[in-house]
Amino acid sequence: MKTRIKELRARYDMTQDDLARKIGVRRETILFIENGKYIPSLKLAHDIAKVLKITVDELFIFEDD
């Protein structure tokens, strides 16, 4: 699963740390999600999408293996 988090953070001139603080997680959590090493819970995905003003469906790119 890929995400558009990095792209959207850039649009809002937001660092990983900025996003992490807004949703109440550590910066490393954002890093791991962006790198595909961690799949967030639905609640966390919703929180990220809300801050980035996008839907959860638009935030993640699901790939068939």
Q: What are the sequence ranges of the domains in the chain?
A: 2-61
Q: What is the pLDDT of residues 37-57, one digit of tens each?
A: 999 999 999 999 999 999 999
- Asked if residue 36 lies in contact with residue 1, where contact means CB atoms within 8 angstroms, the answer is yes
- Answer whether CATH 1.20.1530.20 is correct for domain 2-61: no
Q: What is the pLDDT of residues 1-18, one digit of tens each?
A: 899 999 999 999 999 999
Closest by alpha carbon to 20, among 4, 34, 36, 1? Answer: 34
The predicted model scores a pTM of 0.89
Token pair recorded at residue 54: 């996008």
